[in-house]
Amino acid sequence: MNATLQTNLEILKKLQIGTYNKDFLLTWEHSDDEIKAVLLVAECLSEMHKLGLSYRAFDTGLAISIFRDKSTRTRFSFASAANAVGLGLSDLDEEKSQIAHGETVRETANMISFLTEVIGIRDDIFLGEGNRYMREVGAAVEDGFKKNVLHQRPSIINLQCDIDHPTQTLADLVHLKTYFGGLEKLRGKKIAMTWAYSPSYGKPLSVPQGIIGLMTRMGMKVSLAYPKGYELIPEVVELAKKNAAKYQGSFEIVDTMEAAFTGADIVYPKSWAPYQVMQRRTALLQKGDKPGLSALEKECLANNAQHQAWECDDAKMKLTANGNALYMHCLPADISDVSCARGEVSKTVFDHARIETYKQAGFKPFVISALILLTRLQNPVAKLDEMIRRNVMRK
């Protein structure tokens, strides 16, 4: 057996994994062993795919995707992940369903779940709504299962909400583990999670919140930077502080990109909308106040424009450890003189880092496949072992 696969299996067999028939909505709701299991299984699946081995675990069943926001990487990652483990994919288009005619969440959730294994949901537009909606869907299928409407309860996987983006940050963590040579090598490494200028408005808070919520569990030195007024959800910031203390890392908030970049081993410059703005935006969206939304957008774009110096450029990268920190981004990045006149990152920095960001994104299908196996199989490690030993080629 391949050495990577053998090593990962041996570690997996020693972990306490309690994800079966559970939803995966926030990384901080899961134990250290369960987070490690996601990484190890994802690595195994990536290695199997590289070797040309099949990891089809299901003979039948559906994976339902519900995208309430635009997506490229996550949409195609979910589709390829479902296909790879043997599930058929069906995308719920709310405009083409009875939801458009007033069908309730409780009814819709049960109607799409009769032969369904997993429901992946992306709902990141409304602050205070996305994660709540996922839990409402989870409660509906739980009720359907307990009352014998459904033969099984599908698992809900968060493909990005208003609070966290677990499939992204777990893929980021696999990338960091691979790049630096192991989770233990991340301890003491400095990661700069910083706001960066964008000529657009309303970008979710979930990526920076997901990063500070997860990387503080790795014993890393997490430096969060943003201009005044661009705060994150206070509860997530408090969580990051507690994690840093528990895992013997550190967490700081600074008010310049330069301060965060200084001595950093990893930089993650990413735009987001201020917490208070997202609260105002949600209220306006719920009321259908189009003039109010238009006025808020103008106000926010004007505020963003005051911080155009918050760009990841060559000068700031020289402040990092050895002047050669790993650049990360969930993509698509706003690239100055490419996708916009001025953006989150300079063309030269992005061109230098482009391939690593693609590799970073490339772990997401394997993370999602891992989450499907871990939430749907009663003994996922035994099934993984079986799939490796059967040695069936994909082609």
Residue 98: pLDDT above 80? no
pLDDT band with cut points at 50, 70 and 90 for residue 179 = very high
Residue 258: pLDDT above 90? yes
- What are the distances in angstroms from CA 12 to CA 44, 205, 215, 356, 372? 11, 32, 21, 27, 16
pLDDT band with cut points at 50, 70 and 90 for residue 372 = very high
Give tens-digit pLDDT for 279-309.
998 899 888 999 999 999 999 999 999 999 9
Tell me the domain boundaries of the chain. Answer: 3-164+364-390, 169-361
H/E stretch holding 193 reads strand 190-194
Per-residue pLDDT, 93: 83
Residue 96: pLDDT above 70? no
Mean of pLDDT values over 41-56:
97
Mean of pLDDT values over 62-90:
96
pTM: 0.96
Give tens-digit pLDDT for 315-327.
999 999 999 999 9
Residue 101: pLDDT above 80? no
Please count the other Cβ atoms lying within 10 Å of the Cβ belonging to residue 164: 28
Per-residue pLDDT, 125: 86
Per-residue pLDDT, 16: 97
HEC sequence for 72-126: CHHHHHHHHHHHHCCCEEEECCHHHCHHHHCCCHHHHHHHCCCCEEEEEEEECCC
Mean of pLDDT values over 31-55:
98
Here the tokens at position 179 are 């790049």
Mean of pLDDT values over 265-281:
94
Per-residue pLDDT, 286: 85
Q: Cα separation of 366 and 372, whole Å?
A: 10
Residue 67: pLDDT above 90? yes
Q: Which of 205, 126, 122 is nearest to 167 (CA)?
A: 122
Here the tokens at position 107 are 């009814």
Q: Are the beta carbons of 193 and 224 closer than 8 angstroms?
A: yes
Mean of pLDDT values over 249-264:
98
pLDDT band with cut points at 50, 70 and 90 for residue 220 = very high
Q: Which of 195, 133, 201 is nearest to 161 (CA)?
A: 133
Q: Domain 3-164+364-390 falls in which CATH fold?
A: Rossmann fold (3.40.50)
pLDDT band with cut points at 50, 70 and 90 for residue 241 = very high
Residue 3 vs residue 173, higher pLDDT? 173
Give tens-digit pLDDT for 124-149.
988 999 999 999 999 999 999 999 99
Mean of pLDDT values over 66-71:
91
Q: Is the dihedral of CA 256, 188, 242, 126 positive or negative?
A: positive
pLDDT above 90 coverage of the chain, percent: 90
Per-residue pLDDT, 199: 94
Mean pLDDT of the chain, nearest integer: 96
- Three-state secondary-structure class, residue 169: helix
pLDDT band with cut points at 50, 70 and 90 for residue 201 = confident
The CATH class that applies to domain 169-361 reads alpha beta
